[in-house]
Structure 1
Amino acid sequence: MISTQAWDDAQRLWDYHQVGHTLRPCSVAIGLGSHDLGVADTAVSLYKRGLTPLLVFTGATSPTTRERMPRGEAVHYRERALELGVPGSAVLVEPRARNTGENIRFSKAVLEEAGVTVSSVLLVSKPYEERRAYATARKVWPEVEIISASTPMTFGEYVDSIGDGRLVIDMLVGALQRLLIYPEQGYMIGQTVPDDVMQAYDRLCHAGFTSRLIDPAGV
């Protein structure tokens, strides 16, 4: 049973992870691979709205996607985009990345190899990873403008889509921990975390929502 306090604290983390950028036309949209085909759907929506002329899907496989996406996350995303009517000429694939930093670095290399000039990027991620993706991209690719995007949905809608509230809260807590420790490791730029968000994070950790935490010493 998840307490009302835990749900309230999780909502605070959800709101913080949402960067709230105003979308505008960009050179390219990069969809970060994961278990969530909604990332591909959102990237396609941005393309159809005329906000980008080109999509890049990036991602290999992980323990959570290997069975569902045996050909790799980026490949499955591309197939989804083609099913939804995007021409193959408007989709590039980066099939090797296994973390967010590699997603950005390897996508940058693919675009350079294709001769695409990039001044701005629509960075499409899962809703609770907007801020993490943004902070990573700013570190890895500081010379371009980064605009974070994700599927528009509420915290409750996302929980319903996953079907496991405890897992979602664990993911929110894990994503915030990485925002706290990865800047020191050189993986992303630092982000100011408001006191109420830190307090919510601490309460959730003490309540046992810790399955997605990592050992900072092992990073």
Structure 2
Amino acid sequence: MKNKFLLSLLFLFCLPVFSQGTLPRETVVGSFDSNLNVNSLDVLHKVNVGMGKVDFASYLFDNWNEEFVLIKKNGESRKLSSLNYNLVLKTLEFKISNDSVLQVDLQQLDYIVHLNEIYKIINTDPLSGIYLEVFKGKTLRLYKETKLFIDESEINPLLQEKIKKEKYIRKFVYYLMKDDKYEKISLGKKDILKFLNDKVDLVKVYVSNNNLSYKTDEDVNKILTYYDTL
């Protein structure tokens, strides 16, 4: 009877994925409740991942210990910890041990909340994954993606050996949504004002009077919030 109750709460559907230097993640189905743990998971085709082989720099958040709120597309919400977002695989992962993670099905989620910040799950061309919601207004929305790039190792031309070890470099990419269309932009005066052309003079005065910058998330949020009130 208990198993039937857990099955009625099924939420997390995990898919096997592959990455360089790791084994497949576990394929699992887990119950979506506030006490999610190993005992509440119906594990299928269990495979050890070996997280020690994965560079922690490839994860969005600094650790696995903080609390998240997961909001489903139907409005249901649950609190969950031991989560992190894999920037290489673009997967939300649930850690069950030092060498094993489970994968959360992002298709069922609308957004997640972490430290009072909203991370929207978007799967609309050209976006796919989790994006920080910098601003949400009546006509405009601004999202920020954290992307990883590999700093290629330098090669000794004589020995043909690597001088330094490869490492990940984080860069931020911004997308502004207007009329249900996403456009990649640079955080700066030119790109921001391009979308505010109907009220651009008022916005410029507001930015000048308040000593705001077009290059920081916080100030751009203030600029777009002001624009939204005009």
TM category, shorter: under 0.3
Structure with greater contact order relative to length (CA < 8 Å, sep ≥ 6): 1
Instruction: State which structure, 1 or 2, has the greater radius of gyration over its C-alpha atoms.
Output: 2
TM-score using structure 2 length = 0.26
TM-score using structure 1 length = 0.27
Higher percent of residues as strand: 2
